[in-house]
Amino acid sequence: MRAYSDPNCSGSETVYSFDNTLADKAFAYDLLEQVAIDSNKPSVNLYLHVDVCTGGQLASTSNSPFATTIGSNDDYHTICTAEQFSMIGINGTSEDTFELAQDIDFSGYTGGGTSSYVGVTFSGEIKGRYKKVMNGTKSLFDTVTAPTNNNHAYSGNILIENFQINNTAISGQSFGIFANKIENFGNNEVEIGNIHIDGSSSIFVSGNTSAYIGGFVGKAYHSGSGRTYIREVQSLADVHSDNVSDNGQYVGGLIGKAIGVANNYDGNLYICLLYTSDAADEED
């Protein structure tokens, strides 16, 4: 196999030779980002994963703000930078699928929404691929909710490191490192899982007023016949509030408050396999 450094089979050339007798084996080569070999006599099939963050924007639509945009409806995007991450959900992409192609460093980045990097309500999917998002000063998402065009949306496999969030609460606001709110008012499903927030992260909210504050999400609210799943989430972040009076403020290591509304829908909010550190307010 001949590999080229530039698109359209140009640039420097590297030749790779593979033994087609490698039956029942699979391994990876450091070519571009990854080449996986699926060996099955009498042929060898190669699956190439191009490094879209340092190479050309292959298969992208010309007006896409993301690293790549593919799919029959231009609804699958890859993310390489903090700026691209903050554009999730814009221009009708709120129910699309996004894949993190590399670690995302928010150091010095101030774009996005007021209290979150993704300021619009998001109801699509995030494929984190266990990449890191790090050094942020705002929540990743403001609101995550169930989709309307699909039956089920899953977001997960994300490692969050060194997020330092400081906010002053306005009555009724929600604050979390992954998202401020997770809401489901409809008939479809939203699932969020395999999120890890490390111990160098923290969230601090000041103000003696009602608020929902959690290391993972401030408020999880369910009112609909669909289902909301939150599972396999770990947060080691410090969670603090300086509220010194009982003003309806809810503080939790993972979730500030989980709410399942009546009409037989309260059983459709599933929360399981969660791990957290301590949360505290100043009156404790």
Q: Over range 220-234, report the average pLDDT.
A: 88
What is the distance between the terminal CA atoms of the chain, rounded to a whole angstrom?
A: 65
For residue 196, the model assigns a pLDDT of: 96
Q: What is the pLDDT of residue 85?
A: 97
**C-alpha dist (Å) from residue 124 to 75, 77, 90, 134, 189:** 10, 11, 12, 22, 11
SS3 (DSSP) at 227: coil
3-state secondary structure of 268: helix
For 85, the enclosing helix (H) or strand (E) is helix 82-86
Query: Contact 77/118 with Cβ under 8 angstroms?
Result: no
What pLDDT does 18 receive?
52
Picking from 153, 150, 149, the residue whose alpha carbon sits closest to that of residue 182 is: 153
Number of residues in the chain: 284
Angle CA 270–272–276, to nearest 5: 130
- Which of 3-7, 101-105, 187-191, 240-244 has the largest mean confidence? 101-105
Q: What are phi and psi of 83, to 5 degrees?
A: -65, -45
Tokens of 168: 């002053």
Residue of 259, 255, 270, 150 whose CA lies nearest to 212: 255
pLDDT confidence of 280, banded at 50, 70, 90?
low
Collapsing DSSP to helix, strand or coil, 266 comes out as helix
For residues 162-187, give the mean pLDDT: 94
pLDDT digits (tens, 9 = 90+) for 228-250: 899 899 999 999 998 766 677 89
Place of tokens 């409809």: 186
Determine the Cα–Cα distance for residues 127 and 100; give it in Å rounded to an integer.
6
240/213 Cα distance (integer angstroms): 8
pLDDT higher than threshold 70 for residue 224? yes
Q: Residue 259 CB: number of other CB atoms within 10 A? A: 15
In terms of DSSP bridges, do strands 217-222 and 179-184 run parallel, antiparallel, or are they unpaired?
parallel
Nearest alpha-carbon partner for 133 in 96, 180, 74, 179: 179
pLDDT tens, position by position, 90-149: 999 999 999 999 999 999 999 999 999 999 999 999 999 999 999 999 999 999 999 988
Residue 29 — φ and ψ, nearest 5°?
A: -120, 150
The two structure tokens encoding residue 221: 């609210």
What's the confidence (pLDDT) of residue 244?
61
Confidence band for 187, pLDDT divided at 50, 70 and 90:
confident
Please report, as a single letter, which amino acid is at residue 18. F
Write out 131-170 in H/E/C secondary structure: EEEECCCCEEEEEEECCCCCCEEEEEEEEEECCEEEEECC
The confidence score (pLDDT) of residue 54 equals 77
Place of tokens 């969030």: 165
Predicted confidence band of residue 20 (pLDDT cuts 50, 70, 90) = very low
Q: Of the candidates 212, 205, 208, which has an alpha carbon nearest to the alpha carbon of residue 244?
A: 208
Query: Which pLDDT band holds residue 62 (cuts at 50, 70, 90)?
Result: low
